[in-house]
């Protein structure tokens, strides 16, 4: 699949990002007590900053910071509680890593606004601008990339892939209407969100259709339930399964991968890029 974007981003924080030269790795930092994989481990800003440094040293290009677990069945938190969790963590991570790109994992506009003021560079919205009507305006006002992750209230579809694309196109239209620049729109198929096991497997094989929309695509499969179910293993023992999904995603055109196991997946990405990007350049 062709690389969709070949673009340099320079953020107000001073962080820089090159999209299109190779696959970018987004490392996960959960400032939450209840995330399925690492809940409670990095709620203190100092510990979060130390972990962020480890992620960056292992190969993370972006560090995604979230204050509310988005696992199925996870409890929602108030805006005040989410801000209490994420703002000090973002500030601490930004001090420790002034050159690393940070994203805020939230669907609340005020959380996004304060997170950007604290040093975040990208909004990662798991509800694709659909939950908070002010989110698109915040993204437009800050001129920052916004990741639109597919989601629905329930896993009900007429035609899965077509419906996912239609939903994302609706969110793209919201973003553009609010003034978000086209190059600041990234997409995420929303693996694990409002999707059954068979939906996730089917969508993994159809990522090329999503990449064909002409926007950068982020793939977030790390340690998710459909991988754990296939392998029959707990979340901390499925790095090989995650790696398999990452390889398939890159081969179909995904440009960013969101993962817990940064060191192992960064190596997987490097090897996959050597094949996929070499093939593209050879043809060009």
Sort 158 into a burial class: Cβ within 10 Å, 0-12 / 13-18 / 19+.
exposed
47 is catalytic: no
Whole-angstrom Cα distance, residue 2 to residue 120? 29
The answer to whether the CB of 49 falls within 8 A of the CB of 92 is: yes
Backbone Cα Rg of the chain: 17
Vertex 143 angle, CA 142 and 149, to 5°: 95
Contact present, 127 and 151 (Cβ < 8 Å): yes
**21, 258, 267, 283: which is the annotated catalytic residue?**
258
Spell out a b/e string for 260-275, using b for 16 or more CB atoms within 10 Å of the CB, else e. bbbbbbbebbeebeee
Token pair listed for 157: 């579809």
22 is catalytic: no
- As a dihedral over the C-alpha atoms of residue 181, residue 184, residue 190, residue 191, rounded to 10 degrees, the angle is 150
Q: Determine contact, residues 155/194, Cβ cutoff 8 Å.
A: yes
- Of 3, 94, 223, 224, which is the active-site residue? 224
Active site residues: 224, 258
């Amino acid at each position: 699949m062709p690389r969709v974007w070949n673009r340099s981003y320079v953020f107000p924080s001073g962080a820089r990002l090159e999209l299109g030269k190779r696959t970018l790795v987004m490392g996960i930092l959960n400032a939450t007590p209840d995330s399925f994989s690492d809940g409670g481990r990095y709620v203190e800003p100092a510990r979060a900053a130390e972990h962020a440094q480890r992620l960056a040293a292992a190969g993370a290009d972006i560090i995604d910071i979230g204050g509310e677990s988005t696992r199925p069945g996870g409890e929602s938190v108030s805006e005040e509680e989410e801000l209490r969790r994420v703002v000090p963590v973002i500030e601490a991570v930004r001090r420790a890593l002034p050159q690393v790109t940070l994203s805020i994992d939230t669907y609340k506009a005020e959380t996004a606004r304060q997170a950007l003021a604290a040093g975040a560079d990208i909004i990662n919205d798991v509800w694709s601008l659909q939950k908070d009507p002010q989110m698109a305006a915040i993204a437009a006002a800050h001129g920052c990339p916004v990741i639109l992750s597919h989601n629905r209230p329930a896993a009900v579809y007429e035609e899965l892939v077509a419906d996912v694309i239609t939903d994302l196109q609706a969110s793209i239209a919201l973003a553009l209407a609010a003034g978000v620049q086209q190059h600041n729109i990234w997409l995420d198929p929303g693996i694990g969100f409002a999707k059954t096991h068979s939906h996730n497997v089917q969508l993994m094989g159809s990522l090329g259709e999503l990449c064909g929309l002409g926007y950068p695509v982020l793939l977030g499969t790390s340690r998710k339930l459909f991988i754990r179910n296939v392998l029959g293993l707990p979340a901390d023992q499925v790095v090989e399964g995650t790696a398999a999904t990452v390889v398939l995603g890159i081969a179909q055109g995904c440009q960013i991968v969101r993962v817990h196991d940064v060191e192992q997946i960064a190596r997987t990405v490097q090897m996959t890029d050597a094949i996929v990007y070499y093939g593209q350049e050879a043809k060009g």
